[in-house]
Amino acid sequence: MKNLIYIFVLGLFIYSCSSTKNRDFNKKEITANANDTVRIANDSLEYEIIVIEPGFNLFINSIARPRGFYSQSYLENKNIFLVQEYNNRVNQPFNYNPNLYIQAINYDNSVDYGYEVNYMLYNYFVFFSREYNQRFSVPTRI
């Protein structure tokens, strides 16, 4: 009888250690992706930037320099070089990870995209380089 009680207590202990909650991890993953999607669009110029990157929304709201810190011309000049470098890496899938450099960015330096688009694009490159430990060769003085 004494052994039966020990076995019952041991069984109860093992049962209590198991998870009783029905967790749906796919549902949490979908909501995380929805919160990390940033979309910027301007219908008059017919451009759109959609950034679907986990952690970018947190980065832009807490770590990135605030809007107005850089001038628009500074951001435009940086983005010209960053987009060129990024697109070069997209075109070289054997030298650079094709899972990181998926699609080329269509950025025309003769179009005035405005401050917000240039700000977001520049900060995406800052986020991308920090998150994936990528270094872009961009001149420091333009």
pLDDT exceeds cutoff 60 at 27: no
Query: Could you tell me the pTM of the whole model?
Result: 0.67
How far is it, in rounded angstroms, from Cα 56 to Cα 52? 8
Burial of 115 (0-12, 13-18, 19+ CB in 10 A): middle
Non-local (6+) Cβ contacts of 81 within 8 A are 136, 138, 139, 142
Which amino acid, 126?
V
- Alpha-carbon distance of 35 to 12, in angstroms, equals 41
pLDDT at 91 over 90: yes
- Can you give the pLDDT at residue 122? 92
pLDDT at position 14 over 60: yes
Residue 80: is it exposed, middle or buried by C-beta count within 10 angstroms (0-12/13-18/19+)? middle
pLDDT at 9: 58
Q: How confident is the model at residue 32 (pLDDT cuts 50, 70, 90)?
A: very low
Q: Which of 12-26, 76-90, 109-123 has the lowest mean pLDDT?
A: 12-26
Which amino acid type is present at position 136? Answer: F
pLDDT for position 60: 84
Give the residue with greater pLDDT, 56 vs 22.
56
DSSP characters for 1-19? -HHHHHHHHHHHHHHHHS-
